[in-house]
């Protein structure tokens, strides 16, 4: 089969949140008719990420703490100096921290598909990670295989 893509719409509500999109990605797998192959999940945003991990509330708190320590909101980012930055838009935000977090975590993940089902570990979930919300977002899911 030729690669097929679909989009998942997401509305984030907080500046920083992990949103489990596993079920929505499975819907795309089913919709594309992919039986065996891979699915690529891609966030076309420079202030968001796609990651795999355990959907457990205390672990999510730990991940958020680690990410905040790695790229704190309250330090100076050159990206946020609108007075000297070029190519700014009237709607730009002071979000240098969000860009750094996205850069470190990555914008896509690839997951195998067998017999029409995502092959995830027993405790793995697919997360859209928002660093600059709340916003309307989308994720592009591409199915490759047969």
131 vs 107: CA distance, rounded Å: 12
**24-31 mean pLDDT:** 98
At residue 60, φ and ψ (nearest 5 deg) are -60, -40
- Euclidean distance between CA atoms 6 and 31, whole angstroms: 9
Least trusted range by pLDDT, from 64-68, 91-95, 123-127: 91-95
Task: Return the domain boundaries, the chain.
Answer: 4-79+91-145
Q: Name the percent of the chain lying above pLDDT 90.
A: 89
Taking the whole predicted model, whether its pTM rises above 0.75 is answered as yes
Residue 42 · residue 108 · CB < 8 Å = yes
pLDDT (tens digit per residue) in 49-61: 999 999 999 999 9
The residue count of the chain comes to 146
For residue 47, the surrounding DSSP H or E stretch is none
The C-alpha atoms of residue 62 and residue 128 are separated, in whole angstroms, by 17
The CATH number fitting domain 4-79+91-145, selected from 3.90.1530.10, 2.60.120.460, 1.10.287.990, 2.40.50.180: 2.60.120.460
């Amino acid at each position: 089969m030729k690669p097929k893509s679909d989009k998942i719409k997401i509305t984030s509500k907080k500046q920083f949140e992990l949103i489990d999109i596993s079920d929505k990605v499975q819907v795309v797998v089913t919709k594309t008719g992919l039986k065996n192959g891979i699915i690529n999940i891609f966030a076309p945003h420079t202030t968001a990420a796609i990651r795999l991990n355990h959907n457990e509330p205390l672990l999510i708190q730990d991940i958020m703490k680690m990410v905040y320590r790695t790229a704190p909101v309250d330090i100076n980012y050159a990206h946020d100096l609108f007075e000297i930055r070029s190519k700014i838009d009237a709607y730009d935000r002071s979000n240098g921290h969000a860009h750094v977090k996205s850069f470190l975590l990555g914008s896509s993940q690839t997951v195998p598909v067998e017999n029409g089902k995502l092959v995830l570990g027993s405790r793995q979930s697919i997360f859209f990670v928002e660093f600059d919300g709340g916003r309307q977002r989308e994720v592009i899911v591409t199915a490759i295989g047969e």
